[in-house]
Copies of this chain bind each other. A is one copy, B any other.
Amino acid sequence: MDSQFKAGILIEALPYIQEYYGKTVVVKYGGSAMQSDELMDAVIRDMILLKCVGIDVVMIHGGGPEINEMLKKIGKESKFINGLRYTDKETIDIVQMVLSGKVNKSLVSRIENFGGRALGLCGIDGNMLKAQRKGGDVDYGFVGDVVGVDTRPITDAIDNGYIPVIATLAKDDDGDILNVNADTAAAAIAAALNAEKFILLTDVKGVLHDPHDESTLISVIHGDEVQSLIDEGVISGGMIPKIQCCMHAFNGGVRRTHIIDGRVPHSILIEMLSDSGLGTMIC
């Protein structure tokens, strides 16, 4: 009987639900999983389900493509220094507007549409994210690194029953709003929350021994293996900062960090509520 079979599948998830009950899970959401409506709804519903079964989910998002699109719309050309986009006042204004006004509130709206309760915050709210301008000789404009997290606006939202959705803007001591890397900010927040889990949704399957063969996925990497894997070239390119993010979160007190494939529908649920697991765990 069909419905009985489905009930059986629900029951299979029970031990996983019990394991995470009352714990905090931080999900950094971006990339492909944020570009398709279908994948977006899958992620959103995963978040709501996790919240329903007593897990305190925190959603942190970037929004690079939307920012680019908007800059293009206003005819703003981007200047790059050492591969980093120089962020002038007009650009940071667009960044702020797109991240905390468009992407953030649209995610909140989607969560509410599926019956969840969400609160859209950015690093400015309640002085959540404190940053410092990038130092050195080069002036990148309004670009910085997170140097402090005040978790109260997040835990207040959790305690009041909301899923906090966070745009990673930050402010420095001069009161200037800075553009910060969303992955790094997410890792810092996960660490500050002493999260049980930090999940980075990406556009790849995880760390692969052979980048052309998805069957060579490395399921678990221990911290002390990271450097040699970089040296061997197994971890390379854009994966290096992602792995470093995870190491950061892990060293900051997060129990488990994961890089998983955001292109797979319900990848968060699969990672958390089944024994399949997904992607690469760094711990």
A-to-B contact residues, CB < 8 Å: 1-4, 6-15, 17-18, 21, 42, 45-46, 48-49, 52-54, 70, 73-74, 93, 96-102, 104-106, 108-109, 112-115, 117-122, 124-127, 152-153, 156, 160, 162, 169, 171, 175, 177, 264-266, 269-270, 273-274, 276, 278
For A7, give its contact among B54, B114, B265 (CB under 8 Å): B265
Closest to A273 in B: B10
Interface of A is mostly: helix
Residue contact A122 to B105, C-beta cutoff 8 Å: yes
For A53, give its contact among B52, B70, B126 (CB under 8 Å): B52
Q: What residues of chain B lie closer than 8 Å to A14, measured between beta carbons?
A: 45, 48-49, 52, 114-115
Residue contact B115 to A125, C-beta cutoff 8 Å: no
Residue contact A124 to B112, C-beta cutoff 8 Å: yes
In the complex, 14 of the A-B residue pairs with CB atoms within 8 angstroms, ordered by the A residue number, are A1-B264, A6-B9, A7-B265, A7-B274, A10-B266, A21-B52, A96-B101, A97-B101, A100-B100, A108-B124, A109-B171, A112-B126, A126-B162, A156-B156
For A54, give its contact among B42, B52, B104, B175 (CB under 8 Å): B52
For A4, give its contact among B96, B100, B266 (CB under 8 Å): B266
Q: How far, in Å, is A283 (CB) from chain B's closest CB?
A: 21
Residue contact B105 to A266, C-beta cutoff 8 Å: no
